Amino acid sequence: MIRKLGRFDAPIPVVRNMFRQTEDWPRWMPGIASTRTLSSTDSSRLVEVVHLVRGRRFVQHLECRDVGSGLEHRQQTGFFKTWNAAWSFQKPPDGEGTTVALSLELEVGITAGLLIPKRLLQSWIGGMLDETIASGQKQAIGLAGRQREPTQVVHVGKPMLQVFEVPNGFEVVFAGRTFVIDAQNPPREQ
């Protein structure tokens, strides 16, 4: 069992929704190249997750379920024999932000178990989860910042264009659609 805790400087609904929105994972979760929802109901989704790890591509199908105020991710198919993650979101003792707790039950199959020692695999997965929490903290700050009004709004009637400065660049909302401009990889002029 791998357990991790992380502190996020954003309200619980923002952080929980960030982990719930699987289509956005590739934007902020290290090692995730793409996600695709295969099926969904009101409380669960079957999601194909493509991981890129050290130049190798791994595909995992996760059942992502809302469980009370938390989330569960259970592998249906993939590299591991068992991958059950339980995420909980709580107010920290000081009442500011969100504490995220993860419990990951992980079991490798026979082939992987022979090739990769369990402690090494747990250490490696633990490191990836630390990176995910660190990256998620930055994403949450950006999303929480977006809850505020933009610094300058120019419009007549209903606003059509809003620009929000976030830690990694800008989020542009145009006619109800959101676009991200990454400051490190800005779009090129045509």
109-133 pLDDT per residue, tens: 655 545 555 566 666 666 777 777 7
Q: Are residues 123 and 68 in the same domain?
A: yes
Q: Are residues 35 and 64 in the same domain?
A: yes
Look at residue 153 in the predicted model and tell me its pLDDT.
47
Look at residue 151 in the predicted model and tell me its pLDDT.
43
Q: Are residues 52 and 127 in the same domain?
A: yes
Q: Residue 136: what are its φ and ψ, rounded to 5°? A: -65, -35
Q: At which residue do the structure tokens 């082939």 appear?
A: 111
Q: Are residues 165 and 120 in the same domain?
A: no
Q: Are residues 72 and 158 in the same domain?
A: no
- In the predicted model, is pLDDT for residue 157 greater than 60? no
Query: Helix (H, G, I), strand (E, B), or coil: what is residue 5?
Result: strand
- In the predicted model, is pLDDT for residue 74 greater than 90? yes
Q: Report, as an integer, the average pLDDT of 159-173.
A: 64
CATH code of the domain in which 32 resides: 3.30.530.20
Domain tally, the chain: 2
CB neighbours of residue 127 within 10 Å: 11
Range of the domain at 15: 2-146
Q: Are residues 121 and 166 in the same domain?
A: no
Q: Report, as an integer, the average pLDDT of 154-162.
A: 53
Look at residue 162 in the predicted model and tell me its pLDDT.
65
Look at residue 37 in the predicted model and tell me its pLDDT.
94
Query: Helix (H, G, I), strand (E, B), or coil: what is residue 75?
Result: strand
